[in-house]
């Protein structure tokens, strides 16, 4: 669908050179043809009026009119009485010289993990906070940005995280970032300055996190996860001097790091002079027990806590934070400055407003109830339609692990992929555990099912639609 430019629309970049022997009209016709063929002007897009284009190019309006008429005759343009001149639907338009994207068929019910309820984003509260920030922000804040982040947000964040996460938060060691992925990138880059060359990751764990480390040239090693969380003895057997963990709700298994392993992990970090990077990705949403404090609160000199609003508000806001160990904070801020000069200040002030006003916490309380209802809907749907499927990891967050019964296949990849492919044919998006495993390692056939962005009715329908695929054969 073409963009409908308002007013006269933006200027159209065309090269017309009076010093060339080629007539101006020929140059203009050729430039417009090339723009249409290359896809710079899309089907249905409105061209400037002949008067506006003549003025912008410094040529006569009659010349532009003749050019438009010629291209209309060739089928490149179309003009209706009283309407603008547009690129014709019959024009042969390529995609800017790029190979076509492979066709993707959207699914009707998508159990993609990690996606919150996007329809519940607090639009009114966020827009009010943005308006207040625009209205009240001093003009000097619109100039050079503090690479650590806006001081107001850092003060509010530190107070909030001390209160609700038990974090040892100091505004002076807090860096605002563009979401978790950038936060991890910044901490890893700062650790490389201190000689870190190998980083450990949970296995299974988020493959994107490992990709960030590999992109930076770091070696990566996997450390197994069991019902007590990451195996600290296995971690100690590696040469890693940093580890990335999800201790509050392990991603994707959902287990909680056991208290004795928390203490063993801190002892390892202290003895090895290592750093724990704590991914605090959905700690706000717990259902069957009291909230668990951040690991960072126990060892702020060894743990960098990275959080964001991607799960609590929306991924598209691209706002996060790093509670950095004191010795890393300056390097983290330095690399933030080099990457993007700092996060948008108006958005930072809006988030500070949302936190301080209590709207953020009210939103979280509302979302806990919604996610709890969806969690219940998933459990009940599985119990009704696929009772042989074992669910785990439901103590927090908005995804679960579904272990497929023996008989759907013991090797993860073939069984998972067959179920996933069959589900997609029925327009249901399913996702396998094998994507989270290191290398070619295989485990029991399991699905990672997200329910955050699905209504209870959609959850029940989705499970019913694929229930026969999940049963033993």
For residue 34, the domain's CATH number is 1.10.10.10
pLDDT over 60 at 103, yes or no: no
How many C-beta atoms lie closer than 10 Å to residue 82's C-beta? 5
Listed residues 344, 361, 378: the one ending a domain: 361
CA distance 300 to 306: 12
CATH number for the domain spanning 230: value is 3.40.640.10
- In whole angstroms, what is the distance from residue 79 CA to residue 265 CA? 71
Q: Per residue in 288-314, pLDDT tens? A: 767 789 999 999 999 999 999 999 999
CA distance 225 to 78: 63
Mean pLDDT, to the nearest integer, of 225-231? 96
Long-range (24+ apart) CB contacts under 8 A made by 391-394 are: 392/253, 392/254, 393/249, 393/250, 393/252, 393/253, 393/254, 393/255, 394/254, 394/287, 394/288
Query: How far is 466 from 426, CA to CA, in rounded Å?
Result: 8
Q: Do residue 148 and residue 241 come from a single domain?
A: yes
Same domain membership, residue 393 and residue 431: yes
DSSP code, position 173: G
324 and 237, same structural domain?
Answer: yes
Cis before residue 473, ω within 30 degrees of 0?
no
SS3 233: helix
In a shared domain, residues 334 and 371: no
117 versus 413: which is more confidently predicted?
117
The arithmetic mean of pLDDT across residues 88-114, rounded, is: 72
pLDDT value of residue 414: 61
CB 173 within 8 A of CB 323: yes
Helix, strand, or coil here: 322?
strand
Q: Do 136 and 187 have their domain in common?
A: yes
Q: Which of 223, 125, 182 is nearest to 306 (CA)?
A: 182
In a domain, 133, yes or no: yes
Claim to verify: residue 308 and residue 197 sit in the same structural domain: yes
* Inside any domain, residue 454: yes
Asked if 43 and 91 touch (Cβ cutoff 8 Å), the reply is yes
Residues spanned by the domain of 430: 109-116+364-470
Mean pLDDT score across all residues of the chain: 91
pLDDT at 143: 87
Residue 155 banded pLDDT, cuts 50, 70, 90: very high
Is pLDDT at 29 greater than 70 in this prediction?
yes
Phi/psi at 450 (5° precision): -90, 140
Query: Terminus-to-terminus CA distance in the chain, angstroms?
Result: 46
Give Cα 242 distance to the centre of its chain: 23
Tell me, rounded to whole angstroms, the distance of Cα 214 from its chain centroid: 19
Q: What is the pLDDT of residue 81?
A: 67
Please check the confidence at residue 357 and state whether its pLDDT lies above 80: yes
Checking if the pLDDT of 82 tops 70, the result is no
CB 149 within 8 A of CB 174: yes
pLDDT class for 19, splitting at 50, 70, 90? Answer: confident
Which pLDDT score is estimated for 101? 53
Same domain, 220 and 320: yes
Asked if the structure places residue 1 within a domain, the reply is no
Instruction: Choose one of 101, 135, 153: the last residue of a domain.
Output: 101
Residue 409, pLDDT score: 42
- Most confident segment among 54-63, 92-101, 127-136: 127-136
Please list, residue by residue across 1-14, b when 16 or more beta carbons sit within 10 angstroms of its beta carbon and e when fewer do. Answer: eeeeeeeebeebeb
Answer whether residue 144 shows pLDDT above 50: yes
The 10s digit of each residue's pLDDT in 244-271 is 999 999 999 999 999 999 999 999 999 9
Would you place residue 160 in the very low, low, confident or very high pLDDT band (cuts 50, 70, 90)?
A: very high
How would residue 44 be classed by pLDDT, with cut points 50, 70 and 90?
confident
What are the tokens at 75?
Answer: 């089928």
Residues above pLDDT 70, as percent of the chain: 93
What is the structure's pLDDT at 96?
47
Strands (E), 70-228: 77-79, 85-87, 109-110, 174-177, 198-203, 219-226
Residue 215, pLDDT > 90, answer: yes
Query: By C-alpha distance, which of 32, 97, 42, 114 is closest to 285?
Result: 114
CA angle 331, 337, 342 (to 5 degrees): 125
Q: Is 202 helix (H, G, I), strand (E, B) or coil?
A: strand
> Are 137 and 37 within one domain?
no
Mean pLDDT score, 394-402 = 93
Residue 360 has pLDDT above 50, yes or no: yes
Give the span between the Cα atoms of 230 and 203, in whole angstroms.
Answer: 8
Number of domains in the chain: 3
Q: Which of 21, 9, 23 is nearest to 56 (CA)?
A: 9
Give the span between the Cα atoms of 420 and 399, in whole angstroms: 17
Mean per-residue pLDDT, 434-442: 85
Q: For residue 409, what is the domain's CATH number?
A: 3.90.1150.10
Is the same domain home to 33 and 182?
no
Instruction: Give the model's pLDDT for residue 42.
Output: 86
Residue 435: DSSP 8-state? G
- Whole-number Cα distances in Å, 431 to 48, 214, 411, 436, 468: 47, 24, 16, 10, 16
Residue 360 CA to residue 350 CA, distance in Å, equals: 11
Q: What is the mean pLDDT of residues 362-385?
A: 96
Predicted confidence band of residue 286 (pLDDT cuts 50, 70, 90): confident
Beta bridge partners of 203: 224
Digit-coded pLDDT (tens) for 407-437? 544 444 567 889 999 999 999 999 999 999 9
Confidence (pLDDT) at 94: 52
Name the residue among 455, 453, 416 with its Cα closest to residue 433: 416
DSSP code of 386? -
pLDDT in the model for residue 39: 84
Neighbours of 312 (CB within 10 A): 19
338/432 same-domain check? no
| pLDDT higher than threshold 50 for residue 370 | yes
Which of 361, 394, 413 represents a domain boundary (last residue)?
Answer: 361
Helix, strand, coil share of the chain (percent; to 5): 45, 15, 40
3-state class (DSSP) for residue 317: helix
Q: What is the DSSP string of 141-152?
A: GGSSPPTT--HH
- Is 245 in the same domain as 302? yes
Domain check: are 384 and 356 in the same one?
no
């Amino acid at each position: 669908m073409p963009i409908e430019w308002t007013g006269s629309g933006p200027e159209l970049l065309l090269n017309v050179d009076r010093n060339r022997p080629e007539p101006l009209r020929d140059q203009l016709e050729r430039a417009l043809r090339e723009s249409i063929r290359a896809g710079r002007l899309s089907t249905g897009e409105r061209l400037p009026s002949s008067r506006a284009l003549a003025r912008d190019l410094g040529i006569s309006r009659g010349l532009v009119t003749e050019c438009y008429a010629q291209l209309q005759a060739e089928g490149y343009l179309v003009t209706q009485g009283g309407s603008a001149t547009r690129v014709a639907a019959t024009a042969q338009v390529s995609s800017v010289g790029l190979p076509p994207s492979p066709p993707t068929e959207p699914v009707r019910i998508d159990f993609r993990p990690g996606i919150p309820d996007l329809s519940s984003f607090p639009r009114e509260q966020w827009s009010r906070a943005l308006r207040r920030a625009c209205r009240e922000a001093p003009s000097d804040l619109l100039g050079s940005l503090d690479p650590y982040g806006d001081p107001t947000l850092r003060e509010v964040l530190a107070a909030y995280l001390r209160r609700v996460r038990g974090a040892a938060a100091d505004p002076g060691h807090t860096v605002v970032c563009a979401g978790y992925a950038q936060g991890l990138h910044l901490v890893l880059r700062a650790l490389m300055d201190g000689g870190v060359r190998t980083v450990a990751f949970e296995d299974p764990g988020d493959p994107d996190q490992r990709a960030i480390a590999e992109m930076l040239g770091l070696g990566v090693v996997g450390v197994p996860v069991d019902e007590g969380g990451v195996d600290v003895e296995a971690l100690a057997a590696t040469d890693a001097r940093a580890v990335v963990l999800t201790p509050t709700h392990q991603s994707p298994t959902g287990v909680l790091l056991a208290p004795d392993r928390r203490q063993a992990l801190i002892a390892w970090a202290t003895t090895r002079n290592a750093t724990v990077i704590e991914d605090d990705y959905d700690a706000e949403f717990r259902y069957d027990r009291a909230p668990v404090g951040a690991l960072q609160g126990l060892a702020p000199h060894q743990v960098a806590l990275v959080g964001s609003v991607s799960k609590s508000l929306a991924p598209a806001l691209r706002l996060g934070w790093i509670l950095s160990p004191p010795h890393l904070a300056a390097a983290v801020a330095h690399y933030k400055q080099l990457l993007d000069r700092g996060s948008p200040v108006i958005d930072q002030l809006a988030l500070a407003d949302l936190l301080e006003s209590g709207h953020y916490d009210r939103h979280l309380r509302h979302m806990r109830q919604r996610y709890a209802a969806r969690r219940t809907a998933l459990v009940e749907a599985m119990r009704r339609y696929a009772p042989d499927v074992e669910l785990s990891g439901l103590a927090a967050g908005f995804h679960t692990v579904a272990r497929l019964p023996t008989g759907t296949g013991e090797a993860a990849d073939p069984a998972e992929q067959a179920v996933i492919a069959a589900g997609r044919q029925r327009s249901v998006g399913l996702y396998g555990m094998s994507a989270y495993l290191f290398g070619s390692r295989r485990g029991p056939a399991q699905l990672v099912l997200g329910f955050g962005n699905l209504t209870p009715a959609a959850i029940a329908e989705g499970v019913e639609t694929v229930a026969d695929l999940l049963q033993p054969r």
